[in-house]
Every structure is written in C-alpha cells, then in structure tokens.
A and B are shown apart, each in its own frame.
Chain A
Amino acid sequence: MNTKKLLLGMAMLCPAMIAIAQNPLVNTDFTADPTARVFGDRVYIYPSHDIPAPDDYARKDWFCMADYHVYSSDNLTDWTDHGVILTQEQVPWGNPKAYSMWAPDCIQGKDGRYYFYFPDAPAEGQGFGVGVAIADSPTGPFKPQPSRIEGIFGIDPCVLQASDGHSYIFWGGGGLREAQLKDNLLELADDTPSEVRKMGDREMRMTGLDAAAGLPAGFKEGPFAFERDGWYYLTYPWVPDSAAVAQSTELQKLGMRMSGTETLAYAMSRNPMGPWEFKGLIMAESPTGCWTNHHSIIEFKGQWYLFYHHNDYSPGFDKNRSMRADSLFFNPDGTIRQVIPTNRGIGVTDGLKHIQMDRGTLSGGAFIEYNNTSDTLHRFEGWKVRLPKGGKSVYGNVSLPEGEFQALVSTTSSWGRRQQIKQLAETTLQITTTQQKNGLFTIEMVNNGKDTVDVDWITFVTRKPLFSDYFEPSQGKSILPDQNGFIRRWNILDPIDKPNNTNTVFVDTYLRKAFNADYSEQTRNLEWHQLDSKRWNVKLFRFASCRDKQVYGVLFFAETVIDCNETLNNVRLSAGSNSASMWWIDGKEVLLLSGDRRMVQDDGQSQRLTLKKGKHTIRCAVINGPGMSDFCVRLLDSNGSPVTNYKILSK
C-alpha cells in the first residue's frame, strides 16, 4: 500500500502520458464509473479508482476506492493521467478508512470554477453521502467543502446543467433520486420534495423525486442525465426483473442476455424533472461478466461517445474494472442505437505508433490472450492476438501520412512478454491498408501461413531503401556507358570485413597493402553479383545494407569488362569514391584515391591510356570505415569529354 501511495504521489507531480489508445482506455490503473466531460477542447474523465484491497480494509471481495484521478485527452487516443485530485483522508466529513470513494461527477459552474461531486461514507452515521470539492482547474487542486450536501443519502451523483438555466442532481439511494440544485451548486433547492421510504425495518426520509418510479423495475445505481435536441435523457444501469421480461415482448426485443448483471438503459423526457418514458437499452450485459456497468455520454467534436467499464484486466475479480469508450449514435427520433462494445474503441490511431491489432475485429479463428497472465497487475501489459491459419484482424481509423511504408510486426512468444520485431516480409502475415471515406485507413491483417502467429502490435515505418532502388540484375549481353560516360554494369563481391573505426588510416601504403592482400579465405563464402546500377554512382553502401550485409569497416571489390570497337587513344580513367579506392585496368594499377574521400565526380584520373580494340577488365577496390560507400567511374577523352563508344559486358 505504501508503494502504491508513493506512486500516486509521483503521478501528482508528473502527469503521465498514456498512449494505449484503444479499449480499455488506460492500462496504468484500474478505472471504473467513467464520467467524461468536455471542458474547452479537451475531454476529461473522472473515474472511480479501484485498487486491490489493502491490509487495513477487511472486505477483500468488495469495491475498494481511496482516491480519485482525472485523465484528459484532446484526441481521444492519448490520455494524460493528471494524478490524484482528492483522497478519502482529505474529506472533512468522510471516513478516512472507508475506501468508499465511489462514482463521481464534475461540472463547470457559471462562475467558471469546477465542482466535483463525489460519494463517500460519512465519518459519523451509516450509508453514503455526497460531497462537493471545488477547483479553479478541471485537474484540481480540488478543495472539499466542509460538509456533505444536506438531504442526499446515496451514491453516484450526476449533475445536469439544463438549458432551462437550472442544474439538477441525480443520485442512487432509495430509488433514482432527482432534485434541483440551488444556483450555488452546493445545496438542494428549498422546495425539494421528500418522501418516507421503508428501508428494511427502518423508515427513512428521502429527498427529491424518485425518477425511476414510472420505469420498469431494476434501476440499480449510477444515473447519468444529459440533454440533446430538446430531449432530456436519463440513463442508468439496469438489471431487469426476469419475470417482468418474460411477460413483456417489448423488453424481450431489447437483446438482453438476462445474465442478471447490469445493462445500460435509458428513458427520455421533455422536462429535466420528468416524467420519464422508458426507451430501451444503450448497452447489453458485459461480455466479460462484469456485474457492474457505469457510464457517461458526451458529444466531442461532432461525435457522441459512450464511456463505460468492463473488467478486462481483471477477469477473475469484477471489482477491479477498466474504463472503455465507444461511439454512440442516435436515431432520427432521438432514440439511441444500442452500442456494441468493441476493443477498438474510439479516437484515431497514429499508424506510425503502435497499432494494437488485438483490439481489431477478429475473425477466422483469431482470438486474444493476455501478454502476461502471471498476476492481475501484469495483465496491464495488455493483450496479443493469436492468429491461426486464416485468422484475421481488422482495425479502423488509423492515420498514415503520404508516402511508402513497411509494416513492423511485434510478435510475442508463448511464455511471456519477450517480443520480437519482425519486418512484414519475414512473416506469413498479409497486411493491407484501405483508405476510408474520412481519409483514415483500415488495416487488415491475415495469417496466410500454416503456423499460428501471435501479434502484440504492428507499426508502419518509412519504407527502408530497397535494393531495387539502386540496382537491378544485369540483363542482356552488354550495355553502353550512360550519356555522361559512367560505367553502370558491374560484378560486385559481397563486402569483406575490414575493420576500421575511422577513415584517417587510408594512406597510400596501407591501401596498397589492403587492396593487394589475399582474401581467398574470407571470400570463400562470399558471392559475386552481376548488377546494373540505377544511378551514376554505384552505391555500394546500399548493395550491402539492403541485403543486411556489413556496411561499415568493409572492403568492396567490383569488376567489369568493356569491349572497345576501336582503339581508344589518350583516354583517362576518371573516378570518384567514398572512401578510398584503387583502380586497375587489365591487372595494372592505374589510379589510387587515398585519404578520407567523399563522393566527388572526376575526383582523380589515371594517366593517359591507350585501350586497344577488344576487351579490357576494369577492376576497383573501395574501402570504408564509417561512410556511405560508393564509386563512380568513366573514361574521358583528351578534351575531358566522356567516352561512350564501347560496350560493357556481363562477366
């Protein structure tokens, strides 16, 4: 517990960016009952904070919440944890050891300040009260009022700021209670009605209206009210009575599994105080078996969203929950289309960052597993998707800049977190991108191989330079020099390991020795490649790097054969290279470029040469420490003009 507190303290000082993006929204803590609010151009979420029961809390199998965090995002993908905003020890009227900081809400008052409503167990008396803490910023610091709101006995406050200019508070306790707030947002209106309710053998005076009175039985807790297009919506967790459902074809049509856990249901009214007319389900029971659900609904940048929770990271204990969100849509008559929970969730995923393909829509036998199942908290390490042959994941709303990309795939071994990052070409996965109407991309990943593949995430990286950008295999018997006389057809040997940390050693003596040494032992397993360079400079660096060969501290040999139709008099071999190089014609050294060379066209030239009609072999060696090895070579005539009237043969 101490460790946990320390971590929380640090979080307060240093907001943490969490880029998990998909559902659940964050993986740093358990988060439940998310109340999302839009302040300015950011979404703020005020959830409950589930923790594993500490030593001083006896109810190990019960909800346990000691404080609140607030999270925010401006893109619904990257969430910032602003740290602790209120603890149970700070509440003047609360029991500092009750661990009962249940579902809160937060609104901005007309005075610009932020009013944070929260339930807590009182230090004296039983049950729950609701308090208010006030801050100048949505992320606090929040200062709790000295006492609870008089008249509220219950949990899960929600404040509706209605277009009629008044604010209304809803809570759970003796039914779904509703009352108008005074303008100070701290007290119930003076004319708030009340009634006496029997709670077991006790009689209690309950303030406010029971908004659920006219609704099908089964309201549980966590009301959330909002307003849209002249309608007020009262939404709430609901566990319908199975007998009532059995008698009602209307209720049967709602698609409930009748698992006895909470659905999210709603009612509508033209008035903030009702009467409320039941309309149906927003979300059916949790597929993970989480008994509770608790939610909020907001509009952000033209789209409506439902925030809710499941117990994704704690499948064995449904009181350690994780908040989620999905898009929500309305029918033309204002009714709500049922939301099917997805793992993909909301927001745009940056394709150049991790794309959690396990959160996609899975088919073909694909299924998700935890990356690490060793204990509850390790499940925060997330999921992977297992793709058998034909298994598929489709993941939408990914942003990609223009350009060419290749996919990197993070695969996980079956025994834990150890990851391998593989280029797509090395896997049996097929990844296709399809542009959506909104300009974003849908990523489809299919396993075409026989073996099952585990994928944690994929990401797109700028396309690595390809061998084919620089070279192609020589075709045809011969080619001509290019229009500037550069010789582009070469037979090139794989790089020979020749360690050099710098290029400063390339003095003439060293080079003569290095270039004329016997490399037969080292070259036994190396191959020659007959290639045509696509560029005037033969990019040896790419010759090596694109085939994952050594690029630094290497020695290259290249050879070509030219066939002169007539004798070439007074020509010079003109070369440039990165770094040093030596040049031979028919076995005779004609040029040495020593020192730390960079690619300079016509850097050095041979003495005047006569190349008789017929074939001649041009050979070069290029050495480099840490450089981008390349060379260029051509024959120049006595005027310095390129010679082009000869053929270059394949060896």
Chain B
Amino acid sequence: MAKTFISKRLALVAMVCSLAATAWAQEGQPYIHDPSTLAECDGKWYTFGTGGGGLISDDGWHWHSGAVRPGGGAAPDVIKIGDRYLVVYGATGGGLGGGHNGVILTMWNYTLDPESPLFNYSDPVQVAASDGMEDNDAIDPGILLDPNTGRLWVSYGTYFGNIRLIELDPRTGERVAGNEPLDIAIDCEASDLLYRDGWYYLLGTHGTCCDGVNSTYNIVAGRSREVTGPYLDNMGRDMLAGGGRMVVAAERRRTGAGHFGRTVIDEGVEVTSFHWEADYDMSGRSTLTIHPLLWKNGWPEAAPQFKGGNLSIISERRGYALELGVDFVRQPQERAHWFNVPADAPVTSLPEQKLSDVIKTWPEGEIAARIGDYMFRPHQQWTIEPVPEAGGYLSAPYFRILIEGTDRALAATADMEVTTVPHYTGADNELWRIEQLTDGTFRIMPKQIPGQKSVNTKLVLYSAGDSTPTIAPYDFHSDNSKWRFK
C-alpha cells in the first residue's frame, strides 16, 4: 500500500516538473520592452514597444514581430478612438544620469496593420515636453479615455521627478489649450491610467529596470475618485509620497514586471499586459506577458496565468464537482463502532479510490457529464493540459480536459450539452478556453460548438441545475457561469 502511494506521488512530481520545464508564457517571439496596451485591429492584436516596432498576434497567445511604429523613443501607448488609433510615445529615450529633455508625441492611424493600404501615420504632434532641468522627464506616456466624460488624459514621467497628468483633445490628439501639467506621483516609470467602477487608478512601475534577471521592476497602483488625484494606496499614502499597492511583482522564473496595460475582454473578464524584464525559460529575455487581472476590494491584482494540472472542477453555483455520469462505486472499509476501537490502536493511512478500481464499471462510449458531491473519486478527477497547436486567447492556450489517467475528454455537443468522448480527437469541441474572472473564479468555454462556423466567444460551461451541466451564454452576474479548480 505504502509503495503504491509513494509511486503515485512521484508521478505527480514528475508531471509538475515537466510543466515547469516548458516555457510558460506568450508563445512565438514575444520579445519586447514596455509593451503598449493591447490594441485589436481587424481581428489581430497589436502592441508597440520601446525603440520602435512592436508585436502582432492572431490569437493573443502567439506573438511575432512586425508591428510598425515610427519615431523610436520610449514606452508607447495606444488607444482606439472612433475609427482611428491614437499612438502616444516619448520621442526621446530618457537618460540614466543623462539628459531629461523629454518630448511626448501623438499620431493617428486608421489601421495598425502595416499591410493595409490605409496604414499611414499622421505627422506626430508634440503634446508635452520637459526641459531637462525640471523635476520631470517627458517620456513613458500612458493614456486614458475617461468613459464618464469622454475626456482624454495622459500620464507621463520617470524616476526623474514627478509623474504628470495632461489632457488631450480626443478629436485631434493635441493638448487641450491652456491645460497645465499636474504632478500626480513621484519616482515611477511607465505609468498608466484606468477607470473602473467609480475609481480612477494610476499604475506606476517601481524598482530597477533593465538589469535582466536582477531587475526588481514591479507595478503598483493608487486610486482616486478624481482623475486629477490624489492617488492614494491601500494605506492612504499618496503616490506623490511614493505610495502604491502591488499589482504584480516577480513570479517563479519570471522577474521584473513593468509597463502595465489593461484590456477588458468581456464583463468580468480582464487581462493585464506587461513585460517581464527576464523570463528564465526564454533565455532571460524581456518578454510580453498577459495575465488575468483580478479585482479584490477595489484593488487590481494580476493573477498567474492558468496552467492547468490535475484538478477537480467545482461549480460556483453549489460547490459540487464536475464528474462523469457513472455509477458511484462504494469504497470498501473495515469499520467498527467507535466505542469498540481501542484508544491505543495503531493509526493507519487509507488508500484513495483508484481509476483501476472503477474504470471497468464505466461504459465504453460517450458518457454524459454531471455535477455531484465532491468525493475526490476518479470520475471527478480531471487532467487539464494545454494544447499548444490549438492556439490561444491572450492569457492562456486552449486546453483539453481529460479524466485523469485516461484520454476521455470533456466535449461540447451540437445541441449545446456537455458530454465526454472516450478518446480525445483534437476536435474544436474538445478544446476549452479557460479564463480567470475578475472575482477569481473561472469561466470555461468550448472553442467551438459542433456545426457552428465561428470560434465560440459567448457560450460557457454552465450549471443548469446543481447537478446538471450544460452549455449556455456567459453571464458574469450568475454563478452558473463560474467554476473553481481544486
């Protein structure tokens, strides 16, 4: 008994190791520093970085170079306003111990696709500058179109003095006449602004940049009821006094989080894009990464990318586990009434039910999925594995969901129910998009419903009843749409 137990643990450890050895990050060549907020254009994703150029992705997961941004300089940001994209960037590079004559420029383009005949940047317009002597270096702009007022704001600056806020005209991308810059934080870099649920947030990067695996770069936030501040952290400390609550710092094998960007995918589905100064699994290079963005008590936190594993899938509706609709197989146990057990009887460890104990009782063909009491039984244990060749969706690749130890796969049916097929085939209805929601739960979406033409972006694994899973439209306000992993 003990022997079996140990070997099983070894197998588990081996599996975890093999996962860790695989690069877990955006796929392709996601090499970039200071990625701009992700921008979508004609079904593709774009981000621009320091020094010019940028990355393109078809699915948000696989990235390659090819985006075009003239002007060089540092740390751009991009936003779509109407039918145009506004790119804002620092035309200078900033100076480590050197010059701080910074210039912020904006320019428009009708498309971000360099292959498009419409691709043509307007002449850059200067919207802010620093004279090299004042407590500010006008680079690293971040942009916010205020959803309440329609006003356009840019924060900029570095460790050389203060982060400043200016207002632009959203029609022209030019500075609003008479607008004076406002100091809103001290000693940050790569700042960005966002609005959510009655609060304005100022994101800033602290720590050491550009020192590879030794970079301590990390992203902190303060919030304010007014876009003009004061931006206070969770301790009530003003960002002008160095305040800031951590949004994302290093994680194992990845260090130096910098240049925050936020992308809202759906209600309750948000991601943040930023760079790692060094990804240990990517030669220590600076890479783009995209993580779920969670909100806890009004504070943003980047969650780790979902990596799968051997997990149970628990409904948020009832707390039951997703399982195969098979017989419940009782586990044998020698039992005596408690008053018959001597107090000094030896304590033994009981085995768990094994797959081999039950698999012969399962039908061979399709088995419908069900939700039932969580009993850590084999018919409730799933192996969730990435399928790299299937593509991805910003914060993760597509996954297959198999009964642990088998290749029986969870699948969506043409009539929008949930079943398991005896052998995973790689079909799109056996692939699942798993995203962590802003409240920390997950939504689980089939890549495609059989017979439907386009990739599914609306239907999720759904609790029709406490015990009945189905496929139904995603609704962030219903726990029927939400799941946890255990």
Contact = CB atoms under 8 A, between A and B. Distances in A.
Check if A and B associate: yes
Interface of A: 461-462, 464-465, 501-504, 536-537, 552-553, 576, 578, 595-596, 598-603, 625-628, 632
Nearest to B207: A596
B131 A601 contact: no
Given A596-B216, A598-B187, A602-B237, A504 B208 contact: yes
Interface string B98-113: 1000000000000000
Main secondary structure of the interface of A (DSSP, over half): loop
A600 B242 contact: yes
B445 interface: no
Interface in B182-211: 186-188, 206-208, 211
A550 to B, nearest CB: 11
B244 to A, nearest CB: 8
B159 interface: yes
Contacts of A626: 96-98
B135 interface: yes
Nearest to A598: B187
B207 A600 contact: no
A599 B186 contact: yes
B134 A465 contact: yes
28 contacts: A462-B131, A502-B96, A502-B208, A504-B208, A504-B211, A536-B241, A537-B241, A553-B97, A576-B242, A578-B159, A578-B187, A595-B216, A596-B207, A596-B216, A598-B159, A598-B188, A598-B206, A598-B207, A599-B241, A600-B206, A600-B242, A601-B243, A626-B96, A626-B98, A628-B135, A628-B161, A628-B187, A632-B241
A601 B211 contact: no
Nearest to B178: A402
Interface in B201-251: 206-208, 211, 214, 216, 237-238, 241-243
Nearest to B206: A598
A503 B97 contact: no
B276 interface: no
A501 B97 CA distance: 8
A599 B206 CA distance: 10
Contacts of A595: 216
B133 interface: yes
Contacts of B89: none
Contacts of B159: 578, 598, 627-628
Interface string B148-161: 00000000000111
Given A462-B134, A504-B211, A596-B207, A552 B97 contact: yes
A537 B237 CA distance: 14
A574 to B, nearest CB: 12
A28 B103 CA distance: 30
Contacts of B135: 465, 628
Specify which of B161, B188, B207, B241 lies most central, judged by the most chain A CB atoms within 10 Å of its CB. B241
Contacts of A537: 186, 241
Interface residues on B, range: 20 to 34
Interface in B107-152: 131, 133-135
A501 B188 CA distance: 20
A389 to B, nearest CB: 32
Given A502-B96, A503-B208, A552-B97, 17 more contacts: A462-B131, A462-B133, A504-B211, A536-B241, A537-B241, A553-B97, A578-B187, A595-B216, A598-B186, A598-B187, A598-B242, A599-B187, A600-B206, A600-B242, A602-B237, A626-B96, A632-B241
A369 B341 CA distance: 116
Contacts of B207: 596, 598
Given A552-B97, A627-B159, A600 B134 contact: no
Q: Which 10 A-B pairs have the closest CB atoms?
A: A626-B97, A600-B242, A601-B241, A598-B187, A462-B131, A596-B208, A552-B97, A626-B96, A464-B133, A599-B242
A603 B211 contact: no
A537 B161 CA distance: 12
Contacts of B214: 504
A350 B131 CA distance: 16
Contacts of A632: 241
A625 B96 CA distance: 9
B246 to A, nearest CB: 12
Contacts of A461: 131
Contacts of A628: 135, 159-161, 187
Nearest to B98: A626
B208 A465 contact: no
A39 B133 CA distance: 42
Nearest to B220: A600
Contacts of B238: 601
A501 B133 CA distance: 20
A503 B134 CA distance: 22
A596 B237 CA distance: 21
A330 B238 CA distance: 63
Contacts of B237: 601-602
Contacts of A503: 208
A595 B211 CA distance: 13
A596 B241 CA distance: 17
Contacts of B211: 502, 504
Contact of B97 (A464, A599, A625): A625
Contacts of A600: 187, 206, 241-243
A626 B209 CA distance: 12
B164 to A, nearest CB: 14
Contacts of B241: 536-537, 576, 599-601, 632
B122 to A, nearest CB: 20
Contacts of B242: 576, 598-601, 603
Contacts of A501: 97
B221 to A, nearest CB: 14
A580 to B, nearest CB: 12
Nearest to A502: B211
A465 B187 contact: no
A519 B236 CA distance: 40
Contacts of A596: 207-208, 216
Contacts of A625: 97
Contacts of A603: 242
Nearest to B188: A598
Contacts of A576: 241-242
A626 B99 CA distance: 11
A537 B187 CA distance: 12
A627 B95 CA distance: 10
A554 to B, nearest CB: 11
A465 B216 contact: no
Contacts of A504: 208, 211, 214
B472 to A, nearest CB: 48
A447 B206 CA distance: 50
Nearest to A501: B97
Nearest to A601: B241
Nearest to A406: B133
A576 B244 CA distance: 14
A537 B243 CA distance: 14
A504 B187 CA distance: 16
Q: Which of A595, A601, A602, A625 has the most CB of B within 10 A?
A: A601
A350 B214 CA distance: 47
Nearest to A462: B131
Contacts of B187: 578, 598-600, 628
A461 B131 CA distance: 8
A504 B212 CA distance: 12
Nearest to B238: A601
A603 B159 CA distance: 16
A461 B214 CA distance: 39
A203 B98 CA distance: 77
B101 to A, nearest CB: 11
B236 to A, nearest CB: 11
A265 to B, nearest CB: 47
Nearest to B129: A462
Interface string B416-430: 000000000000000
A602 B243 CA distance: 9
Contacts of B216: 595-596
Task: Output the residue of A536, A553, A602 with the most chain B CB within 10 A.
Answer: A602
